Amino acid sequence: MLPTRMGWLGARDEESRAHLQARLTSLSRLMFWSFLVLLGGMVSLYYQVPDIEPARNNQIYLIGSIGVVILAIIWRGILLRFELKVQWLYAIDLFYALATGAVFGAAAYLAPELKASQFANMLWCCFMVFLRTIVVPSTGKRTAITGTLTFIPILAAAIALAATTKQEVPPVAYVTGDMTISLVVILLATTGSRMIYGLQQKVSAAMRLGQYTLDQKIGEGGYGAVYRAHHALLRRPTAIKLILPEKIGADTLDRFEREVHYMSQLTHWNTVAIYDYGRNLDGVFYYAMEYLNGINLENLVIEHGKQPTDRVISIMIQVCAALKEAHRHGIIHRDIKPANIILCERGDVPDVAKVVDFGLVKELTTAEDGMSKGAMILGTPSYVAPEALTDPSRVGPASDLYALGCVGYFLLTGRRVFEGKTSVDVCIKHVNATPMPPSTHPGVTIPKQLEDAILMCLAKEPEQRPASAAALAVLLRAVPPSNDWSEDQALHWWAEFHRDDRKTLATADTKTITVDIDRDDGRPTPYAIIERPRGGSGEVRPEGPASE
């Protein structure tokens, strides 16, 4: 996050605010434990050497304990629970600086008989100034202000001690020494902040592709990386996929250009949108696509368990709509799976399904050249159609419908159609085994028409499946409603989802973002979604070697 002349807040206000709150949360946690260690060390020291304990040590303990309690309240009770305005975050930052100096200044003043007390408390102030500089990077000016606020109380204590007690050095030298240490530390901290600020500016200037400024890397793979970015004028969040110059080869570039070419032809609401494509002066190829703040269907089941029948029908109908357009253009996806379908909100409409990752698409009119043959071995075993394994030349729109049937099965039951110890086991079952009807799984009750539609999609022969994506959508719309999912329930669900997501962003905990990139093993991963920490009531594990 790049600081501006005001401090940290840049053009992307909410993201900058959340980043600042996350940094202050980290600072609070580190200060809390540092104070506890300090208090524990004092208790241990005075227990072992009681003769050096200051007469007013109980007052020092009281002040330190109050400081720990205040830190705990701000950290656990405020920063982790509420979204604070930037002005309040600035106020907390300044309060920490002044309060830290006040605590250590009071500790030094209350222990005049312990000559080392002033020096020890000065060292702790130095430590806190440097800690704040590292954890909460900001402009040099702001660092100078907070550093000065930290040292004012400790310098006041030094002046009071020099005037009221006899020290081993003259009073002027005693105070001057503390002032010199304070000045040096403030200058070092300010210089460090300015260096960080300058480096961040250079990085920001370098991380530009056309009209897009890259904010942060959100994924990386065998030949490229994906960044969250924003347009210079529009400011809307965007996902940028790029290939680094050193990764560019004939096959890589051809596949990359095929991917953006196919995706740019598709304009349906339920297909991820492509905004732009280009190459910068450094030879970096990139394309800009829609940034989806939602959850993929894989994580939806992992976190929230099997889904309501009416919700599953709605999702499948939307995917059918996206596939209908793709098939009409002569394009088959080849890798329909839960991780490649993102559920999000668009235009205040909940539960909008977006089909992503067209990196493995095949054009029906394309001759079977070497590239196409190479692509045939790619896919995800848990969702691959039998003909893709036995006779890849028969792969067509029905193969996508088979995979969509596997997705519906997974959403309804929380389990995959076939599971095995290895990927080979799973593939063999897709070719030879008969799937268990979804209703035979414990706790699964669905309309017979829906089960029949799912099992029709899972037919071994492409000719026995629905004639098209549109035909499958007709079957799904004919299923009687179960009334187990409504628009009001969806709106409430998404309100909770975004509330949890904002908390995760504010605390900078385990939030990650996964994107459409190719891993080193050549398989694609989902992209352009925010993936929240797992741990819900899902009945399956993330796909591993045995199921991918």
Contact 427/419 with Cβ under 8 angstroms? no
Contact 270/281 with Cβ under 8 angstroms? no
In DSSP terms, 212 is beta-bridged to 209, 231
* CA–CA dist 465, 39 (Å, integer): 72
In sequence order, the 6+-apart residues with CB closer than 8 A to the CB of 386 are: 402, 430, 431, 460
In sequence order, the 6+-apart residues with CB closer than 8 A to the CB of 510 are: 504, 533
Contact 233/211 with Cβ under 8 angstroms? yes
What backbone torsions phi and psi does residue 50 show, to the nearest 5 degrees? Answer: -65, -20
In sequence order, the 6+-apart residues with CB closer than 8 A to the CB of 28 are: 71, 74, 75, 79, 96
| C-alpha R_g of the chain | 30
**How many CA atoms, within 13 angstroms, populate the side-chain half-sphere of residue 351?**
20
* CA–CA dist 461, 546 (Å, integer): 25
Q: Which of 93, 178, 310, 335 is catalytic?
A: 335
Q: Which amino acid is at 126?
A: C
Which residue's entry shows tokens 């890397």?
A: 217
Pairing of the two strands 341-346 and 349-355: antiparallel
Helix 116-135 to helix 13-48 angle, to the nearest 10 degrees? 160
The gap from C-alpha 546 to its chain's centroid, in whole angstroms, comes to: 26
Give, in degrees to the nearest 5, the angle at Cα 38 between 32 and 39.
90
Mark whether 335 is an active-site residue. yes
Q: Which amino acid is at 24?
A: L
For the chain, the residue count is 548
Task: Detail the DSSP E strand segments found in 211-307.
Answer: 212-220, 224-231, 237-243, 274-279, 285-290, 295-296
User: Which pair of tokens denotes residue 126?
Assistant: 């130095």
Active site residues: 335
